[in-house]
Amino acid sequence: MKTKVMFVCLGNICRSPMAEAVFNHLAAEKGMSDSVKASSSGTAGYHEGGNADHRTIKTLRSHGVPINHTAHKITKADIAGYDLIFAMDSENLYNVERIASDADRKKIMRFRKFDPKGEGDVPDPYYGSETDFEIVYEMCLRTCEKIIGHIMKDNE
């Protein structure tokens, strides 16, 4: 059985597609592509149908991480269809929980719950610099490693 993971931010062009790409890249490197699959979405439809932010793409490519992304607004059906849902910050966590069924709320959490450097929000780099995108990449890398480890342990 494949574990389906969803990463959620506001517009689905910076943080969540970066986490999705990093997660799927790490899973592929570990030979786990048949066991896990990540996707991403936003709580707002500002960029629906568009590409990831050019700085997200540039940052990922600089680390050899492929990305193929189309922005998507999360739906109640998405929430029901995924095993784990990670919100990139507390505001998006609240917005996802608000549309989720009572039964689905248990699988929704903040992304950095698994960050070895501590919990909290993933800062939105949209209005920042390329350095801010690099900071988010590093958060995604170390946190996705831990999430994959958690999934592997649960599937043993």
Average pLDDT of adjacent 10-residue blocks, the chain of 156 residues: 95 98 97 96 96 98 98 97 98 98 97 97 97 98 97 84
Q: What is the pTM of this model?
A: 0.97
Decide if 124 is catalytic: yes
Choice among 14, 15, 89, 112 that is catalytic: 15
Q: Tell me the domain boundaries of the chain.
A: 3-154
Choice among 78, 124, 140, 144 that is catalytic: 124
Decide if 140 is catalytic: no
Choice among 9, 14, 140, 144 that is catalytic: 9
CATH class of 3-154: alpha beta
CB atoms within 10 A of CB 130: 12
Decide if 144 is catalytic: no
